[in-house]
Amino acid sequence: MKAAVIVFPGSNCDRDIEVALRQSLGREPQMIWHRETALPALDLIVVPGGFSYGDYLRAGAMAAHSPVMREVVKRAADGVAVLAVCNGFQIATECGLLPGVLLRNASLKFVCRDVHLRVENPYTPFTQQYDDGEVVTIPIAHHDGNYFADAATHQSLLDHDQIAFRYCNRAGALSADANPNGSLDHIAGIFNRDKNVLGLMPHPERAADPALGGNDGRALFDSLVAALS
């Protein structure tokens, strides 16, 4: 499997996800500067977290117009897997790779903490090593993670099993208390219809090492390596 991480001015989780990928993959992913207009042959493209362009204008809005994103959108259309984490998810919605938008958190505050997630669709290259309905613990760190989509889009996500993860409590139940940002239908992450693009607000790369307090994110990277190698 060949993997690459896109680096924008202001990306700051690029190294973290590089480390997590290397651990599952056994070799280095490529780091690709956002000005590149051509991509090598790849099986996985990661759009990492951070503050691309300082969140100016709107989180993800400027990076969505970076030269490299046109190429990423094309590759996604060709079926290449794209993992978009946090700011990457915001960029993915801004450039149309995924439907919906990420609004400011309902608390209006940045929030960094562990959250519980329920695996809603384990039948994808990203999630195949999780169980259906499994509850995992993965950290979030964002100011704009409040997922929203209109009713028709929401219905379409439901109809096509596009919801990847929902915020839940320790027992797997959905509740307003367990939703850290007020997102629609407790959505923490979604797929595109073909299930080759995943966008999620939680940071699996921060939960891929037991020393950091959790290892539940590792299965996501292991799933990708198993599915794409």
Residues lying near other proteins in the complex (CB under 8 A) are found at 9-10, 12-13, 15-16, 19-20, 50-51, 53-56, 109-113, 139, 141, 143, 203, 205-206, 209, 211-213
State which residue, 60 or 139, has the beta carbon closest to other proteins: 139
205 in catalytic set: yes
Q: Are 2 and 228 in contact (CB under 8 A)?
A: no
Q: Select which of 18, 34, 86, 116 is catalytic.
A: 86
State which residue, 120 or 144, has the beta carbon closest to other proteins: 144
Q: Are 218 and 24 in contact (CB under 8 A)?
A: yes
- DSSP code per residue over 89-134: HHHHHHTTSSSSEEEPPTTSS-EEEEEEEEE----STTTTTSPTT-
Maximum alpha-carbon separation in the chain:
46
36 in catalytic set: no
Residue 175 Cβ vs other proteins, minimum distance, rounded to whole Å: 18
State which residue, 26 or 110, has the beta carbon closest to other proteins: 110
Residue 86 Cβ vs other proteins, minimum distance, rounded to whole Å: 10
Enter the DSSP assignment of 12. Answer: -
13 in catalytic set: no
Residue 157 Cβ vs other proteins, minimum distance, rounded to whole Å: 28
Instruction: For residue 36, give both structure tokens.
Output: 């590149």
Q: Catalytic amino acids?
A: 86, 203, 205
